[in-house]
């Protein structure tokens, strides 16, 4: 009898405690933020141009965590490193999932891109496969590929025009070699152009005006509206898969080892072909949507900040000289050059926001309620502009990194458990691309050059690159670029090919 009574009391106590906790959670307010208006919430208060700047202003007013209403969706925006650490890293068990991306993720990508999947067994399986190759140790094995591609980029830059297309070709060719053992032909832009046409179409989906289904999910059940989005998405998905499947199958049949083959060998039994193709397509899209833009930002900053650029070139000239191109062995000798790159990533990140997260259960933080269905949006721009971390954050000062090597790295690649899997590869491409550009070229800004974005996308920063000029530094630099390019072209199909130098990563 005593045992039954005790059990009954314990059960009643647990019920009361649980009920009170749930009730108190519901009583807790959402984080502060601007007052929403009926129906649309705060959507009309967020500017189309550089919306991250408006959010940074709101952080100053309301604090480091704010809540917004976009239609019927609650968005919790995180604005400093402490908040991100507490909610994203310390609570990663419940904060590593993704919200539904109805238009982009489901209609256009058909839930085949791992980066958009919830934190479940399927995502974990693909993450393990990606990480088996896309890790810092293996990244070093692909450095010869980057060197060869960089020589091609420098040679193409000698024309003094179309700098973005040269960056795009550099990145596209590097990843084509790594993924498929297929080097992009230097005489055609067809492959690179098609990839970037598809990317441009996907990028438009990040605009609020193209995301009505995401901010008003109820419209998914409204006749006509969802059908139009699904029809457009199916047409895009079919075109995308037709294009990339041909590349993937060619890579799987190649006699040279490549990443597609390595991942295919690691697939769990029963994996659908579309999931495998989507994983590879996502990686190629990610590289081609970010790295050319980052290189464009670096070139723009070279033009806008001539005094700092001269310091970079002086350091490179002293450590490398003018008789050879930079290599990865030079990385540890160039502290100011590294500082310049870090400052570019801090001040002008391609991704002012990390990809949104979703919590898998209701949470309390700083006395505020974080609803289970809320979108969690880390604002990387705000972290990089935090005055408590970076003195005069709006100023371009590479020297800050030299004076204080312990400054936190720029928020660029996302956050733990959902970090960019190709981070090490991206950093290598950025280093060799930037260092080689500074070694061989001068950059000059026009009077109307601006750091303002040239395109207006809600989550992306696209710089203007039409208002500066670039030219080879000297005839001697030109001669070395031409010679290195010629040697690279001669060796590309021989046993000295960069592809043959990564065979050690097989298995």
Per the annotation, where are the binding residues for heme?
Answer: 420
CA distances from 475 to 233, 321, 362, 472 (A): 51, 15, 64, 8
Secondary structure of the chain: what % helix, strand, coil (to 5)? 60, 10, 30
Helix (H, G, I), strand (E, B) or coil at 444: strand
Name, in order, each residue with C-beta under 8 angstroms of 301's C-beta and a sequence gap of 6 or more: 308, 309, 340, 343, 344, 347, 348, 396
Phi, psi at residue 4, to the nearest 5°?
-65, -40
The token duo for 392 is: 């005069």
Name, in order, each residue with C-beta under 8 angstroms of 354's C-beta and a sequence gap of 6 or more: 377, 378, 380, 411, 414, 415
- Where on the phi/psi map is residue 183: left (φ > 0), alpha (ψ -120 to 50), or beta? beta
Per-residue burial over 334-367, b = 16 or more CB atoms within 10 Å of its CB, e = otherwise: bebbbbbbbbbbbbbbbbbbbbbbbbeebbebee
- Please give the Cα distance from 300 to 444 (Å, whole number): 9
The Cβ-side half-sphere exposure at 123, using a 13 Å CA radius, reads 15
Phi, psi at residue 161, to the nearest 5°?
-140, 170
Contact assessment for residue 403 and residue 335, using Cβ atoms and an 8 Å cutoff: no
Strand partners, 461: 456
CA distances from 389 to 82, 85, 347, 432 (A): 11, 15, 13, 28
Helix (H, G, I), strand (E, B) or coil at 82: helix
Helix (H, G, I), strand (E, B) or coil at 495: coil
Positions at the binding site:
420
Contact assessment for residue 458 and residue 51, using Cβ atoms and an 8 Å cutoff: yes
CB count in 10 Å sphere of residue 6: 10
Q: Which of 172, 188, 304 is nearest to 247 (CA)?
A: 172
- Please give the Cα distance from 226 to 97 (Å, whole number): 24
Query: If DSSP states are collapsed to H, E and C, what string results for 1-27?
Result: CHHHHHHHHHHHHHHHHHHHHHHHHHH
The token duo for 212 is: 């009505």
């Amino acid at each position: 009898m005593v045992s039954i009574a005790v059990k009954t009391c314990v059960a009643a106590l647990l019920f009361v405690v649980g009920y009170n906790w749930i009730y108190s959670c519901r009583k807790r307010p959402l984080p502060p933020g601007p007052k929403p208006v009926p129906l649309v919430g705060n959507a009309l208060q967020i500017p189309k141009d550089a919306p991250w700047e408006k959010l940074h202003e709101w952080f100053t007013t309301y604090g480091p965590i704010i809540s917004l209403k976009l239609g019927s969706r609650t968005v919790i925006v995180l604005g400093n490193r402490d908040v991100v650490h507490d909610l994203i890293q310390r609570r990663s068990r419940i904060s590593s999932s993704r919200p539904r991306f109805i238009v982009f993720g489901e209609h256009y990508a058909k839930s085949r891109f791992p980066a958009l999947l919830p934190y479940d067994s399927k995502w974990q399986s693909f993450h393990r496969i990606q990480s088996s190759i896309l890790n810092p140790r293996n990244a070093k094995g692909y450095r010869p590929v980057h060197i060869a591609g960089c020589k091609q980029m420098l040679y193409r830059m000698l024309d003094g025009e179309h700098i973005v297309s040269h960056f795009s070709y550099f990145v596209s060719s590097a990843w084509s070699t790594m993924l498929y053992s297929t080097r992009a032909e230097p005489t055609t832009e067809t492959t690179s152009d098609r990839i970037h046409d598809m990317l441009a179409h996907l990028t438009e989906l990040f605009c609020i005006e193209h995301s009505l289904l995401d901010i008003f999910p109820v419209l998914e059940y409204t006749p006509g509206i969802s059908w139009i989005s699904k029809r457009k998405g199916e047409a895009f998905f079919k075109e995308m898969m037709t294009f990339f499947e041909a590349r993937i199958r060619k890579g799987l049949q190649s006699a040279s080892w490549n990443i597609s083959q390595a991942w295919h060998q690691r697939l769990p039994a029963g994996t659908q072909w579309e999931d495998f193709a989507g994983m590879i397509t996502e990686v190629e899209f990610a590289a081609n949507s970010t790295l050319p833009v980052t290189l464009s930002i670096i070139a723009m900053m070279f033009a806008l900040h001539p005094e700092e650029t001269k310091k970079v070139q002086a350091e490179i000239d002293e450590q490398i000289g003018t008789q050879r191109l930079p290599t990865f062995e030079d990385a540890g000798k160039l502290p100011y050059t590294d500082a310049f790159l870090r400052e570019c990533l801090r001040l002008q990140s391609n991704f002012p926001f990390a990809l949104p997260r979703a919590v898998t259960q209701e949470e309390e933080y700083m006395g505020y309620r974080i609803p289970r269905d809320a979108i969690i949006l880390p604002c990387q721009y705000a972290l990089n502009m935090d005055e408590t971390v970076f003195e005069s954050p709006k100023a371009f000062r590479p020297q800050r990194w030299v004076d204080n090597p312990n400054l936190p790295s720029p928020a660029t690649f996302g956050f733990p458990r959902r970090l960019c899997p190709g981070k090490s590869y991206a950093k290598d491409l950025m280093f060799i691309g930037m260092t080689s550009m500074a070694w061989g070229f001068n950059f000059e800004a026009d009077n109307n050059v601006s750091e303002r974005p040239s395109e207006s996308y809600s989550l992306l920063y696209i710089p203007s690159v039409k208002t500066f000029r670039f030219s080879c530094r000297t005839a001697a630099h030109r001669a070395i670029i031409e010679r290195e390019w010629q040697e690279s072209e001669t060796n590309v199909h021989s046993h000295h090919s960069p592809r043959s130098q990564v065979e050690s990563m097989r298995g």
